[in-house]
Amino acid sequence: MHVGAIAAGRRAGGLLDCRAPVPEAIDSDADARTTWPLQLRAIDESTLAAFARALGQQLRQRPAVTEAGAALLLSGPMGAGKTTFTRALSIGLGVTRPDRVCSPTFNLCREHDGPLPLVHVDLCRLGELGGDDEGSAAFEALGLDELFARAAAGACVLAIEWAQLLPTPPTGALSLTLARGVEPHLRTLVAAGIGAWAQPLVAAWAACTADPPA
């Protein structure tokens, strides 16, 4: 597992807190099934990438999880690191061409081949349409229900950027909220499990990164 950068980030001042409270910007009352066991604060881009690779490897190596599906909801402002996280995640998943994982803002949805395919969605442009009929039609045309069904069947890992714009979030998912830190190059990551399969995944993810091997 790629944990060297994680360990380095912690020594450099990053903090992994498995009991961290929910940030004020996140509404923990939105879903009673949501648990917030993991927060990374004051991490740089290389540490964020290492953490994402670790998650990709967790998903790839845990058949019971992937058979139950894997939907990842990435939220956060522009430049918070959502695409950086997704690209590093693809490396952990074993995607054939991780260099092609970039922001799909103009194509909205891209699928990347691998042992466990990655479907990468960006809702930023759809959010610009607002809540009118045009925006609703655009969400429907994207086929999110079908994508969630594929992920639920274990046929892919679905990663959605700008997930805060989803009109109806799925009942089971891994919520990942990214934010900029006090310093321009630092980030904060909060991971939450929503549903029965996601909660133990977050717990395992936290365990494998809290005490990285030497």
Beta sheet of 157-161, edge-to-edge order:
15-17, 34-43, 187-194, 173-180, 70-75, 157-161, 118-122, 109-112
pLDDT at 120 over 90: yes
Please tell me the distance from the alpha carbon of residue 164 to that of residue 152, in angstroms, as a whole number.
20
CB-side exposure of 33: number of CA atoms within 13 Å? Answer: 14
Contact between 89 and 43 under an 8 Å Cβ cutoff? The reply is no
Where is average pLDDT lowest: 95-104, 168-177, 193-202? 193-202
Per-residue confidence (pLDDT) for residue 178, from 0 to 100: 94
pLDDT at 213 over 70: no
Q: Note the pLDDT tens digit of each residue in 66-84.
A: 555 689 999 999 989 999 9
* DSSP 8-state assignment for residue 210: H
The three-state secondary structure class of 16 is: strand
Sorted by where each starts, the structural domains of the chain and their CATH numbers stand as 4-20+34-210 (3.40.50.300)
Average pLDDT over residues 180-184: 85
Mean pLDDT of the chain: 74
Q: Give the tokens for residue 96.
A: 């054939």
